[in-house]
Amino acid sequence: MAEAPAPAPARAPARRHYRVQLRFVTEEQLFAAGPLSLPNPKSLRLEVHSAGEEADATVTDADGVCVFKCSLNGDTECCCVGKESILISLGYHSALLKFESHAEFSAFSNTLKRCRREEKEYSVFSQRTEEASAAQYFQFYGCLSQQQNMMQDFVRTATYHRAILQNHTDFRDKVVLDVGCGSGILSFFAVQAGARRVYAVEASSVAQYAEMLVKSNHLSDKIIVLPGKIEEISLPEAVDVIISEPMGYMLFNERMLESYLHSKKWLKANGMMFPTFGDIHLAPFSDEQLYMEHHSRANFWYQQCFYGVNLSSLRGAAVDEYFRQPIVDTFDIRILMARTVKYTVNFMDAEEADLHRVEIPFVFQMAQSGLIHGLAFWFDVAFVGSLVTVWLSTAPTEPLTHWYQVRCLLQTPLFAKEGETLSGRVLFVANKRQSYDIQIVALVNQTGFRSGNTLDLKNPFFRFA
């Protein structure tokens, strides 16, 4: 997923329904000898209406009459009973809810944990992410317009469809986990390939729309939507395949790859991951127009009489700020001055901590003489199936995707002759804003001239608009 700068409207309340059996018990009954059976059990409807970090739970009978209602929040007292029941304490009396399936029990448990804020202190996600960043992120992806933007990326959607359907033997009769399912489109592809069951995990409010699509397509017996973060939810079983679309600009932006790697705790020993590995490519480029254009953006601050105010003291700070912005756009490959360097992340083997600090050393042999204005980046991911390997590429030689390509300018251009070498490193350092600080150091070995830059991947400049 690649984040765009547009704001999102307020998060819509989410509703979920479950089939349960209900019994009210007293403290004496809880401590009495013998099992807590449900006499003359009837199937009831439990509706959970979530709004932010709180929810209302209502149980109704076949006639729609409310037989039980309570609020779920940080003060809710509850515990699990067995593998499919939850006991909610309401003062002297308690309500025992028995769910029809372990999957529904797990989904309700995840909602309960979120409302009781049990996950915040311990969640890997909450430890690595500022609350403000997470709120903005999930609000953005809760919009159907953003889901549409990604789904209408033909290269993205068609490649996933092809990778899953052409490797149907890897999905037939298998249990699948869809991490960050969004609209649930990849979950539908998995079912089309023959998956027995799909757990579709989504932390944004778009989970309610995924649930609506599942029901309207009559696949509630196949696809189970679990609202929540993969770091905080529970699954009722291990899975055979994990599918996800966790890529951001420059592959790493948004840090969803870490959530994708985290999900491996639910993967069976011989399980598969789609995508399986990712390559990030980089190459030096020459683009005098881009460099001057970026510089000229700061000319506004060169004014010495802006409504009577001298702004020129801020021009240096403005130039520094603009040059910290990676540039998201596309370009003609003829601006590239050397063959690319590739860095691979194998999602089957990598751990979350491997992505906290990613260092990519490079040595380029210059194919032409000229000024080096910066480094260009793009990525590919591979879906390695039993029948075929399918590639999704964001290279400038391939059809354009919503990821485009990204260019990082050097603060000072470097001159190099054909045959000379440019060496250095690119260092990605993860931050709590779900992104990375990028440090680039480059040296022309034959002359000793060096340059570099420090950039903020969270704040790119969208030049394509």
Please identify every residue annotated as catalytic: 153, 245, 254, 402
Is the four-CA dihedral 108, 257, 383, 213 of positive or negative sign? positive
Return the structure tokens found at 381.
């991911």
Beta bridge partners of 20: 44, 99
Give the largest CA-CA distance in the chain. Answer: 88
Amino acid at 11: R
DSSP state of 386: S
Beta bridge partners of 14: 50
CA distance 339 to 422: 12
Contact 280, 250 (CB under 8 A): yes
CA 313 to chain centre: 40
CA distance 68 to 65: 9
CA distances from 274 to 141, 261, 340, 352, 372 (A): 21, 12, 25, 17, 37
CA distance 273 to 235: 17
Concatenating the DSSP letter of every residue in 13-42 gives PEEEEEEEEEEEEEHHHHHSSS----SS--
Angle, nearest 10°, between helix axes 185-192 and 207-216?
30
Beta bridge partners of 57: 48, 70
Concatenating the DSSP letter of every residue in 223-240 gives EEEEES-TTT---SS-EE
CA distances from 96 to 27, 107, 427 (A): 12, 17, 53
Amino acid at 379: F
Give the residue among 361, 338, 344 at the shortest CA–CA distance from 283: 338
